[in-house]
Structure 1
Amino acid sequence: MKKILIVTIALLGLNGCTNLTENVLDESSATGLTEKQAADGNLAPVYARLPDIFQHTTYFALQEISTDEAILPYRGGTDWGDNGIYLALHQHTHTSTDPNLRNTWGHLTQGISRAVTALNTLPGINDSSVKTYIAEARGMRAYYNMVLLDLFGLVFVKDDPQGVSQILRGAEALEYLKAEFLAAEPDLATNVGPGRLTKAGVWGLLARLYLNAAVYRDRYAAQFSFKPEDMDKAIEYCDKIISSGQYQLSADYFSIFNADNHTNKELIFAVDQRAELNGHNRLAYFSLSGDQFPLPAFPGANGTDGPAITPDFYQSWVAAYAPGDPAGRDPRFYKKNLNIPADSCMAAADVIMDRGILRGPQYGLVRVNGAFVRCGSNYRVGKLFNVTRNRPTLPVTFTEQVDFTVTGSDYNTGYRVLKYEFSPKSQSGRNLGDVDISIVRLADVYLMRAEAKLRKSNDAAAALADVNTVRAARTSTTPAPALTSMNLDLLLRERGFELYWEMVRRTDLIRFGKYEGKWTEKTDANPQKRIFPIPQTAIDGASNLPGYLAQNPGY
């Protein structure tokens, strides 16, 4: 037991942990831990890497900025240049020295390492939770490896913390992940919330794995071969989730991404951000203007003029709802929260930013010399100007056009996204996020089942029913009108509408055969770009094992 306690204390001290039964662990009592505390302390670090993976410059950048959905230009010629790494990601000219690739790789491999440590220490702890915790650690090891396979084309098989991992690729990697998820599933819980891996979480990941199996078996295929038996398994696991009755589609679409979303019944598996030690607000702040300050309590919490949606992605909405405005036809596109005249005074509680895709002139809290303008106990709200960008006469007006030209890279260019609620606790705009970040949610399950039915037997009627179930569920405002037909192109469009900014777009485009397409600033059609290069630092670190870690083709 002494050895276990030492390991537990080291992990607590280095990483900060969240008690897996809803409360923050009391790190002050590092000595004299109970068996339950020791078990918690060994499992919590396995989850602790998730917020880092799901930051704006790690998984988000790789999954969104590399696609037709998001673009991050060199803002104003001074911001987000970063040696061209975001331009390269979007244009598919990235290299093995990209720091965002390196950091994502590092977080994933650390997650695997922590899972291996937990799997080796938990069996020595005498507590009733251990069996479930071992299953969670094993499932999380598989999950981190699944993301590694999707991004970099390999998995690491490792059971001994001191041993050398075995590397698997292609079909071998796929079969390993299936076996690991299936081994973990029987001992997982069903009632511990979305922040921990449950049976339904594994079912959702297995459905995703089977749906992408054709890609993972033959990454560079001219046309992917979707096996009927794979589609059957994807349907089976989606059915398990839907028929469980545990989850339900949210009537208010944007509530899925609110700061209090931990109890939202649409979430199946998510990054738990309720613990302030780990949470970040970067998915909310990343796209907003530097002159958008959403919180009356914090005059230093603003956006950063980061990525916008591409004109290509915006036009997919326009085409779907022409001649109407998508903002009036689909509640997933936009939610109006701030209803004001041009110049108003408002109570702090009434200052709530609009959500979704933000276009045109922007209104919000008026800030002068670092402080918000007050009207007695209220706040002045009006038209915003680019004051923080030293352009105080230029209104903050988001335009559709955005590209890598000087004009297209200006601070105003590109429609912006505020899908995840700006955390009301975030003093800096970057920290103290409360929004649980969805990994698997019920709408995605319906859409995966629809796709599997289309790919297996071209059952357009069944696929259409699943898609329309999701569309009809958003009843807090007028739901999107029902579609009347369904095919793979329409389904990809629907996945874009439902899941934008949720870090699935790159994986979707590859599976649908669209990743070699052309979009804003991107013309590369090399299928070898379907996976990213292994970071050069990882290859250099393995140099004492000749041939152990081979670079992916094309890099």
Structure 2
Amino acid sequence: MNKTLLAAITSLLFIGSACTTLNEEILDESHKTKQSDQEAADGTIAPVYALLPEIYKHTNYFAIQEISTDEAILPYRGGTDWGDNGIYIAMHQHTHTSTDPNLKSTWDNLVQSVSRSITAINTLPTLKSENVPTYLAEARGMRAFYNMLLLDLFGVAFVKDDIGKTSTILRGNDAVKYIESEFLAVEPNLQVRSAVGSGRLTKGAIYGLLARLYLNAQVYRDRYATTVNFPAEDMDKVISYCDKIISSGQYQLSADYFSIFGNNNHDNSELIFAVDQRPNLNGHNRLAYFSLSGDQFPLAAYPAANGTDGPAITSDFYKTWTQAYGTDDPKKDPRFYQENMSVYSNAGDTCVADKDYKINRGILRGQQYGAIRVNGVFLRCPDGRLKVGKLTNATRNRADLPVNFTETIDFTTAGSNYSTGYRVEKYEFSSSSNTGRNNGEADISIVRLADIYLMRAEAKLRKNNDAAAALADVNAVRAARTKTTPPPALTSMTLDLLFRERGFEFYWEMLRRTDMVRFGKYEGTWTEKTNSDPKKRIFPIPQTTIDGSSNLPGYLVQNPGY
């Protein structure tokens, strides 16, 4: 990415709250009296990407895609934290309504991003920069991507080219065909990942998004079907686009699973398309802080940077691991856990050099250890190294209660306490976060190579039950994680096993709800959730948006069941 475009995106990362129409005016706030066409082009494409960090924020897309599923749960912690008028409890129990602020925020950011894409599509052809064809393809492709998210979440897509006209709303197969046509149209003018990185739309990103669209297309065509029959022609397209990516030589499965989600992951060759969160872009995702205890302080340099006791995994999801590994501890799977602090395996290792202090990653269970903060500073060993030991809930004024994560978590008083639930530290805690609530610097995966293999495996199973070929794809991903002993190869493959495998590979990556709907499991029962209404497969259009379009009768119709 060139420096001018990088600066343009930086200046736009913290744009204010999103509007709910497709008529946003983008203002030029440059202090220059004259811009070159290249600078104008960079400044025009930058807003198209600028709200991605907000969309993928922990309380926006993450909450919708994870807390609504069997994977994550967020109780009213201690009766004081994360109550938020019950919105996270409602999201998990599928009793959410059209006034849910997380749904509104996500909707607003997506609709505003569509609007910004339209502005870029109309502005770029007036400029003479040599990058205009690529930028125009990116803007148009990103418009289709945002519409794909709107279709998946809310059941609608917006078609609009002329800034001055009202958008046409598409649903079902019409929306699928529109998004497909836009992706296909822009692919020839996009660059490859090696030229621009994973933070911009590339040919590989389009191939991956097309594969995802075709895999879910029949779900989108008939939202409330009792049984989804996946057409062979759709599955052939999934396989074809996955083949393009795998054979391109542009991407490689990572030997170190957790490096895919590390602070230096921008150049990780497994990432195909990601939210660019490098520090010089003022990255601010909070995915690493969201699940940690308020008494876990991951950075020796910042004694104010801690967790927030947010969501944990459900016992239901944890049991999928224990059922898979039987008498073996699931930590033998390198995707489940990565030990970074030796005190967990050697109780005598209680003094750690600041540069070596890193908390563990993956799914965290039991008694937690770490830097001990007293009166705002960390305890030190006699030689000046950081003192690590058993953590307690000192920040909650309960130093008598250990930070001991338990499997059981629910909405009862006991099940909602600060230490209930096994926690997830998949994304690495930012090395520059002085509060824990800022500067998340790990790029957030949108599409990565493992998903390409597993989508291809699923398409092969759904098309003609080619279990052998599907098994080979799944085992290729498992075998690639060689930094430590990789998980053992599987010996058979079914759709249920593949669904379980997707949970192991992609937990906390905001794919779970879409997967559960496609596999017919979203109406199931799990911890604190019994609602089986198929109308909950999509979310309500925010009521404020419905109200705002009331001057156009019949224009924006609420989804059934809300």
Q: Secondary structure of the residue that 2:35 maps to in structure 1?
A: coil
Structure 1 residues 204 and 12: alpha-carbon distance in aligned structure 2, compared to 1, 3 A threshold: closer
Does the 8 Å CA contact 1:281/1:426 hold for their aligned counterparts?
no
Change (3 A) 1:278 1:52: farther
The reply to whether residue 374 of structure 1 matches residue 377 of structure 2 is: no
**Post-superposition offset of 1:151:** 0.2
Residue 169 of structure 2 is matched in structure 1 by 167
Alignment pair present for 1:403 and 2:405: no
The question of whether the paired residues in 2 share the 8 Å contact of 1:277 and 1:432 is answered with no
Equivalent in the alignment of 1:44: 46
After TM superposition, the score normalised by the length of structure 2 is: 0.94
The match for 1:145 is: 147
> Partner letter of residue 347 of structure 1?
A
One-letter identity of the residue aligned with 1:104: T
Alpha-carbon contact 1:281-1:429 (below 8 Å) kept: no
Are positions 1:211 and 2:215 aligned together?
yes
Task: Show the counterpart of 2:352.
Answer: 346
Given that 1:343 and 1:383 are in contact with CA atoms closer than 8 Å, whether structure 2 keeps it comes out as no
Cα deviation for residue 239 of structure 1 reads: 0.3
Gaps of 5+ in 2: 1-6, 16-28
The 8 Å contact of residues 12 and 41 in structure 1, kept in 2 or not, is answered as: no
Q: How many residue pairs were aligned? A: 538
Return closer, same or farther for 1:470/1:57 CA change in 2, 3 Å cut-off: same
Contact conserved, 2:9 with 2:49, CA < 8 A, in 1?
Answer: no
* Letter matched to residue 456 of structure 1: K
Give the TM-score normalised by the residue count of structure 1: 0.95
1:372 positional shift: 1.1
Going from structure 1 to structure 2, the CA distance change for 1:140 and 1:258 (only over 3 Å counts) comes to: same
Deviation at 1:276, TM superposition (A): 4.1
Choose the corresponding residue for 2:478, options 446, 471, 474. 471
Listed as ranges, the gaps of 5+ residues in structure 1 are 1-8, 18-26
1:509 deviation in Å? 0.3
1:345 Cα deviation (Å)? 1.9
Question: 1: CA distance between counterparts of 2:371 and 2:134?
Answer: 48
CA–CA separation in structure 2 for the residues paired with 1:353 and 1:342: 17
Q: Map 1:124-523; keep pairs closer than 5 Å.
A: 124-190=126-192, 191-328=195-332, 330-340=333-343, 341=347, 344-375=350-381, 376-523=383-530
Please state how far the C-alpha of 1:433 moved relative to its aligned partner.
Answer: 1.3
SS at match of 1:317: helix
Aligned equivalents of 1:10, 1:238: Cα separation in 2: 33
How far, CA to CA, are the matches of 2:309 and 2:506 in structure 1? 22
Are the aligned partners of 1:50 and 1:271 in contact in 2 as well (CA < 8 Å)?
yes
Q: Distance in 1 between matches of 2:35 and 2:312?
A: 48
Can you list the C-alpha shifts for 1:218-265, whole angstroms capped at 9, x where unaligned?
A: 000000120000000000000000000110000000000000000000
* Partner deviation per Cα, 1:149-198 (whole Å, 9 max, x = no partner): 00000000011222111000000000000000001111000121100000
Deviation at 1:16, TM superposition (A): 6.0
Amino acid corresponding to residue 34 of structure 2 in structure 1: G
What is the match of residue 69 of structure 2? 67
- Whether contact under 8 Å (2:298, 2:371) holds in the other structure is yes
CA contact (8 A) 1:210 1:234 kept: yes
* Contact residue 339 and residue 361 of structure 2 kept, 8 A: yes
For residues 313 and 321 of structure 2, the distance between their equivalents in structure 1, rounded to whole angstroms, comes to 11
Return the offset for 1:484. 0.3
Q: Which range is displaced more, 36-45 or 263-272?
A: 36-45
Distance 1:454 1:468 in 2: 15
Contact 1:425 1:432 in 2 (8 A): yes
- Report the alpha carbon displacement of residue 148 of structure 1 after superposing the two structures with TM: 0.3
Shift of 1:90: 0.4
Partner SS for 1:215: helix
Deviations 1:91-148 (A, max 9, x none): 0000000000000000000110000000011111111101000000000000000000
Name the SS of the counterpart of 1:78 in structure 2.
coil
- SS of 1:282's partner is coil
Assess if the C-alpha contact under 8 Å between 1:11 and 1:42 holds in 2: no
Shift of 1:37: 1.2
| Separation in 1, partners of 2:293, 2:279 | 27
Q: Distance in 2 between matches of 1:398 and 1:14?
A: 39
Give the counterpart letter for 1:41 in structure 2: G
Q: Secondary structure at the match of 1:394?
A: strand
Task: Quickly say closer, same or farther: Cα 1:369–1:465, change in 2 above 3 A.
Answer: same
Tell me, yes or no, if the aligned pair for 2:517 and 2:537 is still in contact at 8 Å. Answer: yes
Does the residue aligned with 2:251 lie in a helix, a strand or coil? coil
CA contact (8 A) 1:273 1:435 kept: yes
Distance 2:348 2:279 in 1: 38
Match of 1:103 in 2: 105
2:18 is aligned to: none
Q: How far apart are the structure 2 equivalents of 1:484 and 1:28?
A: 60
Q: Distance in 1 between matches of 2:208 and 2:412?
A: 41
Instruction: State the superposition RMSD in angstroms.
Output: 1.6
User: How far apart are 1:34 and its partner, in Å?
Assistant: 2.0
8 Å CA contact 2:342, 2:349 repeated in 1: no
Secondary structure, counterpart of 2:53 in structure 1? helix
**C-alpha distance after superposition, 1:41-63 (max 9, x if no partner):** 10011001100000110000000
Deviates more, 1:425-434 or 1:393-402: 425-434
* Residue of structure 2 in register with 1:20 after alignment: none
